[in-house]
Amino acid sequence: MKVFKEIMSWVIPILVGLLVALLIRQFVFTFARVDGPSMEPNLVNKERLIVWRHAKIKHLSVIVFDAHGEDPTATKPKTDYVKRVIGLPGDTVSSKNGNIYVNGKAVPQKFISMSERTTGTGNWNLKSLSKSWDKNTNATKVPKGEYFVLGDHRSVSNDGRYWGFVPKKKITGVAKTFFWETNKTKRTNVNSLGY
């Protein structure tokens, strides 16, 4: 009996600790890793991120979401993408000469260079883009409960321009960088730009 009590005095705290860790990961935050160059220069391939599940999604927030069922090329469930939120529900979004406009106002894009703003961005609005999408054809605004996202490295990013919007239910959370992963400017560009 004494041996059993001794064993349980170790086992119960370990089980409780594992349960708490699992609940935190499921409901508070989780971790993700960048895959590919679509968020350069602010996030690089294989960079690790912490993802806050219930953080408020704002314009320019960097989010992690499951692209399966949204991007036709994401054929496997749980295919996580990391992108920047440009349009919130109800927003109009357009691009002209490298400038992005949300509801007619230019979005400050100091987080990427002029060449990154213009190369591969093109001139478009949601209606012109949506003509080639599988869903939301002829959209003029971001639908209720959905978001429009772009990668920072526009010329290589597979993002909302090509397949449409991200439903809130597919969003894991808002991504933040670790202070040891990158420099101050890049951390600010990922962690602090939301408005």
Catalytic residues: 38, 83
List the beta bridge partners of residue 64.
82, 173
Query: Is residue 137 a contact partner of residue 101, using CB atoms and an 8 Å limit?
Result: no
Task: Assess contact for 23 and 168: CB atoms under 8 A.
Answer: no
Strand ordering across the sheet containing 62-66: 29-33, 48-52, 171-177, 62-66, 80-87, 146-150, 166-167
Residue 34: count other Cβ atoms within 10 Å of its Cβ: 24
